[in-house]
Amino acid sequence: MADPRYLDLARVLVRYSIELKPGEKVLVETFDIPGDFVAVLVQEICDAGGLPVLEMKSQYVQRKLLLNATEERMQFIAGSELERMKKMDAYIAVRGVFNAKEFSDIPGDKMSLYERIWLKPVHLEQRVQYTKWVVLRFPSPPMAQMAKMSVEAFEDFYYRVCTKVDWAKASRAMDPAVALMKKTDRVRIVGPGTDLRFSLKGINVQKCDGHKNIPDLEIYTAPVRDSVEGVIQYNTGSSFRGFTFENVRFKFSKGKIVEATANDTERLKSILDTDEGARYIGEFALGFHPYILDAMDDILFDEKIMGSFHFTPGNAYVGEADNGNRSAIHWDLVLIQTPEKGGGEIYFDDVLIRKDGRFVHEAFTGLNPEKLRIE
């Protein structure tokens, strides 16, 4: 018998996140998740009158494909997937964690082929811009281990953060904050090892209220591409290409990352050398999910941590919050500013917006955790 919480999650995805209408075509792409949930999700799409297309993938098999990546193979696959994506009105990706390090031994040049030839045109350029989409992880023992929880405790946490949020109420609470950010020019962020300055002038601002990611709750924009100056010391580990980076530090000059260090600096630099845009920032976002308090090295959760922000090397969101930066990568790196993590302040046009992870400006105070929690 399927877990009864499956239906609650499927309804959030179909009825709220992508707001599926009768006759709309939706691609469901899954990695390593239970067939019982896929069946519930497909049934919910059909009940809503949608036309589901299903692809069930495996991380283990995907690794073999990427290890054997060539220009010809990646172009053939990307061409096929791009044509299919162009036919879709919506996209739901449900990704399990078979092994968080499964891609750790794939050579960087192979991953670059995938990112440049397959990921960028199919997803960053077509899917993100032209479909209604939502992406989420699915609870698993490896995820529970990453979160340092038992499987039962993690599943309770997971379904709470995904289905026990009044997404519409949270969306309304974001509106004053979005309006203020749209008027903001100068941003300054300070904290241990961090002193950043950049401009938001003329860049659009978007709220994330459950229509793109589940779980959600962030507001994102992008810095003016050449405006970023200063240094940032991230305090949250982040896996990319199967390797977990720690203590990532960037120094910026005229928007470009001119110095970069981490626990594997050479590997870090190889990512930043993917293309010209990889050394510029494509996203700046504030995270404030009231139930997500600690990092677990899963970006769909970590970027929403209450009291955090992420500052993302790589591609900007075209047509949504676009500073013109283009790259095959988009790597959300997170800095938490709660007192336990050393604190810090964020200023918009010299006005204090958030201190030690808590919003203090009236346009943002509706996003503090006590205002968003549903006990």
> Each residue of 103-162: pLDDT tens digit?
989 998 999 999 999 999 999 999 999 999 999 999 999 899 989 999 999 999 999 999
Residue ranges making up the domain that contains 66: 5-163
Please report, rounded to a whole number, the percentage of residues in the chain having pLDDT higher than 70.
99
The answer to whether residues 73 and 175 belong to one domain is: no
DSSP state of 12: I
pLDDT at position 194, please?
Answer: 98
Q: What is the pLDDT of residue 76?
A: 98
pLDDT-based confidence at 167, cuts 50/70/90? Answer: confident
**Whether residue 174 is found in the same domain as residue 159:** no
| Rounded-to-integer distance, Cα 172 and Cα 176, Å | 8
CB 122 within 8 A of CB 81: yes
> Do 196 and 153 belong together in one domain?
no
Q: What integer pLDDT is reported at residue 242 of this predicted model? A: 84
Could you give the percent of the chain with pLDDT greater than 90? 88
- Collapsing DSSP to helix, strand or coil, 130 comes out as helix
The residue among 163, 186, 211 that closes a domain is 163
Q: What's the mean per-residue pLDDT of the chain?
A: 95
Closest by CA to 198, choosing from 156, 253, 277, 236, is 253
pLDDT band at 166 (very low <50, low <70, confident <90, very high): confident
Task: State residue 265's pLDDT score.
Answer: 97
Residue-by-residue DSSP string for 240-280: ETTEEE-S-EEEEETTEEEEEE-TTHHHHHHHHTSSGGGGS
Within 13 A of 123's CA, how many CA atoms are on the CB side? 20
Cα–Cα distance, 367 to 206 (Å, whole number): 15
Tokens of 124: 């960053």
Q: Examine the domain organization and report whether 243 and 126 are in the same domain.
A: no
* Domain match, 120 and 183 both: no
In a shared domain, residues 60 and 121:
yes
Phi, psi of 132 (to 5 degrees): -80, 125
What tens digit of pLDDT does each residue of 17-75 get?
999 999 999 999 999 999 999 999 999 999 999 999 999 999 999 999 999 999 999 99
Preceding amide of 215 cis, omega within 30: yes
Cα gap 98→316, rounded to integer Å: 29
Please check whether residues 198 and 114 belong to one and the same domain. no
Q: Which H or E element spans position 137?
A: strand 132-137
108 and 123 share one domain: yes
Boundary residue ending a domain (128, 163, 198): 163
What is the pLDDT confidence band of residue 2, given thresholds at 50, 70 and 90?
A: confident
Structural domains in the chain (count): 2
Q: Is the pLDDT of residue 321 over 90?
A: yes
The rounded distance, in Å, linking the Cα atoms of 293 and 305 is 5
Task: Give the residue from 140, 163, 186 where a domain finishes.
Answer: 163
Helices (H) and strands (E) in the chain, counts: 12, 19
Which CATH number do you get for residue 23?
3.40.1830.10
- Cα 287 to Cα 301: distance, rounded to the nearest angstrom: 10
Same domain, yes or no, for 118 and 196? Answer: no
Tell me, yes or no, whether 107 and 193 share the same domain. no
Task: Give the pairing of strands 358-359 and 351-355.
Answer: antiparallel
Statement: residue 15 has pLDDT above 80: yes
| C-alpha–C-alpha distance, residues 340 and 328, integer Å | 34
Written as six digits, the tokens of 299 are: 């970006």
pTM: 0.81
Are both 159 and 172 inside the same structural domain?
no
Q: For residue 375, is pLDDT > 70?
A: no
Whether 254 and 358 map to the same domain: the answer is yes
